[in-house]
Structure 1
């Protein structure tokens, strides 16, 4: 770990000023940044501790939604009664991730901005375009069992590790940020990036911008939903494939609205609105589930060791749609797949 300067601002504007340098990093729960610094992957010259900022509340919005402060912990978010009752998909996804100890420390804003768990990204003795642009991608042709099958490029095949973000993508949240140029809201679908030719850029934040809150819309999909996470072990493991599904069913049982987001398969939570539209107006069933599944995984490409994830993703989507349509969401305590 290198030497760095430390700042602990008392308000948001001071934090933005302190964090606007080229080599500055914001510190909240530290569950990802500190690890990266220890591994010499992240080398900030200025660490800006934002834990004194007034971003620790969950508040009702005038439009009927909720605003989640960026410094609210993952645990506090998952166990908030308003979240559990109105956005149970989000609560379920959070509880599927990490461990209780980490959820007690990790923050909502930090979860959005956590970096990939690609082996090559963490190993400074191996090539990685995300860590050092121009070095190459060691995972292409290397050990790539956990890597992307969708949206990858010849520069990077890393995946985004978050569970919470998969649910936020399905719920169509918005991210509130502030920076040197003022405040702005970013649609969740636009927040994270695919690698393209700039894999070192994980998101669309501008220099010095700070996440202040996450806004959840009023439509909450509180009855027909599920978060299904498939992994190598049942706890404290990142997803090989995860699926967040939210449905709204009419009185006749037909699907009026559908949201599907995949995790563990791309550089960002993966949504294909055209796949969701195939479900609208249809009775839930194998035929329409399969159609949506093939649409959302269209163009999937394996890298050898991870090719199994293509079929795994398709089966997971069908299973998750069935769980959501039946109103029997996957339990995150009894993790046997329903």
Structure 2
């Protein structure tokens, strides 16, 4: 079997989509599937990762030639807004475009159940869920970088951190305001800033961040982020899955997330701490552990909730407990655990 595994805009797209494509290709190598990165019909399957105009053209050609088309649904109108300059204006016309583009596929690969629920309103095409996965080999030896990265950015434990492009959608305002509320705690966001691509609100939030909130920009070795950080804080408003979250979990870091549908698979109080807008009385439960902790109670909305959750994780033992559970949960997302899914889905199409 040979697969044409095409990533349009590969030279320009970074972040989670680029990481997902890298993971896919490592998984194809792992299970011995031959592939080319060129868009060609001299293959058994055409797998497209970003449905730009060239991908749409190749999909149409493939359908005419009888070559099955697989499309990854990394991009949705819902997660396109509040990302870079002009993306809000483009989000509305993007949806009808994606409906036509995704409709050309024989199978849509969705990175999460939440993403699949969205996509099923886009096109009447069979869908399957395959996680983007976490590349544990990429994180190997991260612990050895702790002293170097703490010293480089003047960080003291417990350090609250986030990894990825600095964009408003990922909860930038909440991250900065939580840092304002907790001046004795170091907050650090590891990842590209790209000011020329950001809107005025985003640059203002970065510039007005308190002294205990650091934006590193691009880092040469992302393992340093997971070495220097102690609590992964992810207040994102919209996410298809979240590779950085999976990486933090694989590194054994406790995670604090916004209580959005994307993260419904995570058990609050056991594998993470969730911050939501549900009323405390409605979500309180009598099921508490030996230490009196209420595992099913989602903490209050936004900044107050994140302050509460991070306060809970000042306790090193609690961080270790939650981090160990997160690491165990992440094992199901390793590339070795997912790779066979690609052999199966390609074989079914062929």
Q: TM over 0.5: same fold?
A: no
User: Going by fraction, where is helix more abundant, 1 or 2?
Assistant: 2
User: Going by fraction, where is strand more abundant, 1 or 2?
Assistant: 1
TM class by shorter chain equals: under 0.3
TM-score when scaled to structure 1? 0.25
